[in-house]
Amino acid sequence: MTDETTYDSPTAGNSNNPNGSAENAASPRRRRGILYAIGGGALAAALIIGSFAAGSAYRAGHPLNGVNAAAAADTSNASDVADSCDVTLDVVASVNQWGSLAEELGGKCVKVTSLINSTSADPHDYEATPQDLAKLSKAQIVVLNGAGYDGWAEKAQLDPSKQRIVNVGDLMGITATEEHSHEHEESAEGEEGHHHHHHGSTNPHLWFSPDAVLKASQAITKAYADAAPDGGATEATVQRHSNAWNGDYAQFVALVNKGRTAGVERHYAATESVANYLLDYIGAVDKTPATYTNAMNSEAEPSASDLKNAIGVIEGKDVDILVVNPQEMGEFAKKLDAAAKSHNKTIISVTEQLPENKKTLLEWLTSITNQALATDVTNGYFLTQDVKDRTLADYEGEWQSVYPYLKDGTLDSVMEAKAKKGDMTAEEYKEYYDTGYKTDVEKIIIKGNEMSFTRGGKTTTATYKYDGFRILDYAKGNRGVRYLFTATGDVPDGAPKVVQFSDHGIKPGKSAHFHIFMGDGSQEETLKEMDNWPTYYPASLSAKEVATEMLAH
């Protein structure tokens, strides 16, 4: 079990995979060779208005973008109240991106089937089975992406007179200008080459458009309300889930507006234009050479010149981030990825299908947004290139373990506070932190290059040298940095051979508290430890002051 919401856990998301290293709905627009038309007029009241330079538009007096303001203010989890249903609606979605949204909006009053529901599935080569088409034709409510992305689903014998059909492409006025295809091509050597991801002049990845997601939520909610008995339990449950979702959406937009207000403007390149709607929405600037993007979105392959130009852009100072789609990592994408890694650029991995570790579409979009804005270092969202070397001077001083305070009940108020915000009980949090904080090293003293460890009143001292840092990717989408130190000379019993610090910092600065990973093997072996992270606060603090510090975060 991992704690993905708290400040003082260094391994939120729990991954042992270390590495070294808005559009306003209006008229057709052409950008980077991708033509997309969003029809149906402007949304009711835009949460994000005007250009990036205009700053935040989320001000008092502005109604939410199609979201009831009172409902948006209530961000309580809809699952806090048991769902009551007089009917259960049968819903079939072509892909799990929209299926997850349909499920969230209907709760237990809907039975949702997503025909493509895994990142291991290739949506471009997908061939619907007779069973798939039968499910679509029999469903009360059908949710399609449209825009040519799931044309196989549109071939089902759907009956608009009997079924409620939500086609997101139609909602946004986006149609495929040429067939969205995905081909196997033969390389020059005769081997099967990369699957080329062709969209022609249409970008069909509408689940990455917050505007499209909002419109889809409204259409799905209306379909549920129309299909459910008037004034019944199902209708009431659907409305409650819709209100809760609107609150979550408002929080997402507030996150985007916060970045805009702070003047955050990221420059990115992408191996393909999968997440461009979202990146445009948050104000990021696409620096991918147009010739490269046009080639990847059409039948052509990038020329040697186009590839060289794209690599040069990524290696230069104008790009902060490279966005890659791990479902489509051909030779060209791998070369861009390698260029980004060799120049310590931030890499954001964005699949097409909803990842297995994400419960909802909005959670996924929020995670990508946090990664792209990269302004919340404390919670693990930062740019790779901003991570700097540190020395033991940052950790110098006398430190006390907080484990005894967990055991004697001093931190019970901290666990109770976490329970009010998180998804576990106070007792469950205490059990989790018992595993994390557990240690027999009650005190650590750091001075110069020496570290002293006290166990049971006995102190052992060793000298350590800096061995660099390592950035760890967590499943949640955030990251952590560990600063590595290795003992030199003869290491006495009681002193660890390797030490790794994690204190939510990424550059030189005095640590307020830290988590420490200790081992007698290699640094690589110690990097695999994700569950036990003994935590230390200044020895000058009383037990009550330690608890107060934790509550402040």
Check: CB of residue 152 under 8 Å from CB of residue 95: no
Determine which helix (DSSP H) or strand (DSSP E) holds 453, and give its type and residue range: strand 450-455
The torsion angle over the Cα atoms of residues 125, 325, 179 and 116, rounded to 10 degrees, is 50
Higher per-residue pLDDT: 342 or 26: 342
User: How far is Cα 247 from Cα 327, in angstroms, rounded to an integer?
Assistant: 32
Judged against a pLDDT cut of 60, whether residue 189 lies above it is answered with no
Residue-level pLDDT at 120: 78
In the predicted structure, residue 337 carries a pLDDT above the cut 60: yes
Q: What is the pTM of this model?
A: 0.82
Measured CA to CA, the distance from residue 106 to residue 71 in angstroms comes to 16
Average pLDDT of 543-552?
96
Most confident of the following: 7-11, 326-330, 498-502: 498-502
Token pair for residue 2?
């991992």
Residues 6+ apart with CB under 8 A from 339: 311, 314, 315, 322, 345
pLDDT at 471: 97
Task: Look up tokens 């052992």; give the residue.
Answer: 460
Q: How far apart are CA 219 and CA 238, in angstroms?
A: 12
Q: Between 15 and 109, name the one with better pLDDT.
A: 109
Highest mean pLDDT (candidates 70-84, 284-298, 498-512):
498-512
* Pair of tokens at residue 102: 């349909």
CA dist 145 and 165 (Å) reads 11
Integer angstrom CA distances of residue 70 from 59, 63, 64, 216, 234: 15, 10, 10, 20, 21
Tell me the mean pLDDT in the region 365-388: 96
pLDDT number for residue 191: 35
Q: What is the mean pLDDT of the chain?
A: 84
Which one has a higher pLDDT value, 367 or 18?
Answer: 367
Give yes or no for residue 52 having a pLDDT over 80.
Answer: no
**Mean pLDDT, range 167-193, rounded to an integer:** 59
Range scoring the smallest mean pLDDT among 66-80, 346-360, 397-411:
66-80
Q: Which amino acid is at 153?
A: A
The residue with greater pLDDT, 91 or 272, is 91
Q: Which among 392, 370, 396 has a CA at the least distance from the CA of 477? A: 370
Using 50, 70 and 90 to split pLDDT, how confident is the model at 188?
very low
- Is-same-fold flag (34-179+197-258; 264-386)? yes
173, burial (CB in 10 Å: exposed 0-12, middle 13-18, buried 19+)? middle
Q: Which of 243, 234, 297, 245 is nearest to 270 (CA)?
A: 297
How many percent of the chain have pLDDT more than 90? 71
- The confidence score (pLDDT) of residue 246 equals 98
| Residue 78 confidence (pLDDT) | 55
Q: What's the pLDDT score for residue 201?
A: 62
Q: What is the CATH number of domain 34-179+197-258?
A: 3.40.50.1980
Checking if the pLDDT of 392 tops 60, the result is yes
Residue 417 has pLDDT above 90, yes or no: yes
Rounded Cα gap, residues 353 and 36, in angstroms: 21
Report the SS3 class of residue 137: helix
**275 or 197, higher pLDDT:** 275
**Which pLDDT does position 297 carry in this prediction?**
75
Mean pLDDT of 81-105: 96
Least reliable range by pLDDT among 6-10, 103-107, 312-316, 501-505: 6-10
Q: Which residue has the tokens 């040298």?
A: 465
DSSP state letters, 144-168: E--TTTTHHHHTS---TTTSEEEEH
Instruction: Return the pLDDT at 299.
Output: 63
> Which one, of 255, 270, 285, 213, lies nearest residue 53 by Cα?
285
Q: How high is the pLDDT of residue 84?
A: 96
Distance CA 330, CA 195 (A): 7
Domain assignments of the chain as residue spans, ordered by start = 34-179+197-258, 264-386, 392-552
Among 164, 183, 177, 184, smallest CA distance to 204 is for 177
In whole angstroms, what is the distance from residue 180 CA to residue 134 CA? 23
- Tokens, residue 252: 């997402």
pLDDT at position 15 is: 38
* Dist CA 60 CA 72 (whole Å): 13
Residue 210 scores a pLDDT above 80:
yes
Alpha carbons 241 and 236: distance in angstroms, whole number: 9
Query: If you write DSSP's letter for every residue of 199-229 in order, what string do you get?
Result: -TT----GGG-HHHHHHHHHHHHHHHHHHSP
Q: Phi and psi for 354 in degrees, rounded to 5? A: -60, 125
Residue 536, helix vs strand vs coil: strand
CATH topology for the 392-552 domain: Lipocalin (2.40.128)
Among 34-43, 391-400, 488-497, 539-548, whose mean pLDDT is lowest? 34-43
Q: Which residue has the higher pLDDT, 350 or 6?
A: 350
Residue 310 pLDDT > 50, yes or no?
yes
pLDDT band of residue 526 (cuts 50, 70, 90) is: very high
Q: Could you give the C-alpha distances from 430 to 183, 336, 426, in angstroms and in order?
A: 52, 44, 6
CATH H superfamily, domain 264-386: Nitrogenase molybdenum iron protein domain (3.40.50.1980)
pLDDT digits (tens, 9 = 90+) for 424-455: 999 999 999 999 999 999 999 999 999 999 99
In sequence order, what are the residues at sequence separation of 6 or more whose Cβ sits closer than 8 angstroms to the Cβ of residue 380?
12, 474, 476, 478, 479, 480, 504
- Whether the CB-CB separation of 89 and 224 falls below 8 Å is answered with yes
pLDDT digits (tens, 9 = 90+) for 192-206: 334 445 555 688 999
pLDDT at 213: 98
pLDDT-wise least confident of 40-44, 68-72, 143-147, 214-218: 40-44
